[in-house]
Structure 1
Amino acid sequence: MESDFEETGVSFVKELFRKWNDISLIKRIVVGLVIGAILGVFFPNVELLTLLGSLFVSALKAVAPILVFFLVISALANARSDGSMKTVVVLYAISTLVAALVAVAASFLFPLTLTLTDAVEQASPSGIGEVLTTVIMNVVDNPVNALVNANYVGILAWAAVLGIALRIASESTKGVFTSISDAVSQVVRWVISFAPFGILGLVYTSVSTSGLEIFTEYGQLLLVLVGCMIFIALVANPLIVFLSIRKNPYPLVLRCLKDSGITAFFTRSSAANIPVNMELCRKLGLDKDNYSVSIPLGATINMAGAAVTIAVMTMAAANTLGIAVDLPTAVILCVLAAVSACGASGVAGGSLLLIPLACSLFGIGNDIAMQVVAIGFIIGVIQDSCETGLNSSSDVLFTATAEYRTWNKEGRSYKAGAFIEKSDPAEEAKAFD
């Protein structure tokens, strides 16, 4: 009798898990988001709920370096180049530069001033040379140290070298690395399946500790920053995609924002979102040899959101001090912001600590610039979340765009999760779903 009861209990749990997994991951995340917000308002300071978010982000950050390392090795060892990677890098560069241009233009249309009071004592790069030096030194970092500290520039470099060296290895040796990368990818899927609980914890922590006051004091600055990022996500990036593939870009854009941007918004870490992006690329039917390299590369250099932050905050500092910014200087700021953004991952503190570098273009001293950085930390709850969401979702967007561009040349069409041969006009009309 007791055995029958246990079997019934096990069957009930299995059925419950099956029904839970049958629900769309995004719907589950939305449920977690709503519950987390409600609990954060009515039941603050519950450590167990905070722990859920910390565990989820920590798990993603822990598995991401290993995932990138083995995926890149496997991809390069078995590489079949189709020119997509070159296109991806070009799209990353164009998007980041366009983001800087949009940010500077918005700053001219909606000039902002800041209330500068207290300085922040933090080390910031003194020039573009220091940023580039940091990136180069990260390339030649000890491989074990790179994995331990999640130095993705170093991880990419060592994985690329080992992957190229393994191209002459036997098929059985290459197969070992392929099996390892597949195993790590499966672990990633297990971690992502807990995303609803992780998002619940992250939203709970934000609501219970930050409150709403922080969103009103610098509301105008946030409106310009977030407005620029929304414009890039929904106008500029889709235009770049359309010019590349000559098809309606919005189904793909919205899919990337939904499946990648939402999790990146709450984790606030491009590195932590690498496994999420890898899984989305798999669902989109993209070539693993391409996205296993382009996604971690994008987390390192595709920084449109960072370019927006650097440009808007620098222009606000210049306006506050009454510095007139002419057109040639504005163009130089755009280029500097774009280049600096690409090096943001190599600087402790990310995009905010690159603001003094851009401010130096206008002769603004470090003491004033660091006060601007302080404001950046105050609004970082929203600014950094939106920035990461834009950066990370566009990694998948441009990876898919580059591959779809190749598919167009080969006469193939595609939809979310697969592609179809271009033959039936009815199927062609349903290329995107």
Structure 2
Amino acid sequence: MSEGTRDQVLEVAARGRAAAADLAPLPRGVKDTALHAIADALLERAAEILAANRVDVERARESGTEEYMLDRLSLDADRLAAIAAAVRNVAGLPDPVGEAVRGYTLPNGLELRQLRVPLGVVGIIYEGRPNVTVDAAALTLKSGNAVLLRGSSSAYDSNTALVNVMRDALAGTEVPADAIQLVPGRDRESVKHLMRARGLVDVLIPRGGASLINSVVEESTVPVIETGVGNCAVYVDASADVDMALSILVNAKTQRPSVCNAAETLLVHADIADVFVPRALEALKDRGVTVHGDERIAAFSADVVPATVEDYRTEYLSLDIAAAIVDSLDEAVAHIRAYGSGHTEAIVTSSQPAARRFTALVDSAAVAVNASTRFTDGEEFGFGAEIGISTQKLHARGPMGLPELTSTKYVFVGEGHVRG
């Protein structure tokens, strides 16, 4: 039987459903013990994991994979240690399962509570980022869910090693090993079967580029939580502190350009442009950033590449940024609405009214005031890790931590109540 067939995928999903039923009632202590066992195993078997990762990276490099994708794919000892630390952080977080969202006594005497419960079986479809394999497993386990992991073929060896290590770690705990499974197959057929496994899989979460996300949203019969691309903007307002604005811009663009919360667009108020733009262009050039600018930006430097409409829609994930000068805060907001992806936008300003208006008008999952877009991240927000950053508006929006991996159910208690 060829790998990735429908029967194989559905078998994995069925095992996940059985594991989810066993996992859901387990107390926090059992789940936390399992998470610490996973963290220990990741470090103890680091050599095995890194060797598998080197195979993936070399194969990707030989196939001409772009540098930003190689960066996402690569693991080293420090990154693996950080991944293990993130698992321990998740273990230290409050368990959302059983939390009362609300509760009260009805006029008829019934005691009503709305409680958080696991979603059940969560499928994650993602591109070449092995850290997602562990983050997703840790968060789903802690929130009482089983997870089906379908990474890209580019990270197949890395993901296989990571899942094997985690499943082996669970063997010595009360958590069923099938709570963490790798979906078989490297081709698109296995993805299609996962997307059609309605009744076995409760929700799918795609993580990756626009084409992957759109494909899952449009083709899946399983409910999907949409995580979006990150075309993030930094708007420098007329009253901005120039030094602060430069620091935020450089960090947002260059601290790690290959991730979704990196800045891809710079908008500058015309009243501060003469002071700010020359310094910004110089600072970006010093760090190897190519600026794609409108005519007003280009007037400051011959190094500016003329921007197209497509540039303003682009999630570069590289040392490129689109830039424009605007005549007002409202024009900046209009630009963001026209071209942004609804991920994260930042304003740099010393005006409280401007900050309030910007945060009120910008319809994105996160809005930063005098801070870098790079902070939109589950770990930075204190979630321990994240399953993804949702740009949709149903159930979850922004970095998705433990509560976002739960649903709710109502429990009502009476004393022989009947409805008349």
> Is the shorter-chain TM-score for this pair beyond 0.5, marking a shared fold?
no
Q: Which has the higher helix share?
A: 1
Give the TM-score of the pair, scaled to structure 2: 0.27
Give the TM-score of the pair, scaled to structure 1: 0.26
Q: Which has the higher strand share?
A: 2
Q: Which has the higher contact order (CA 8 A, sep 6+)?
A: 1
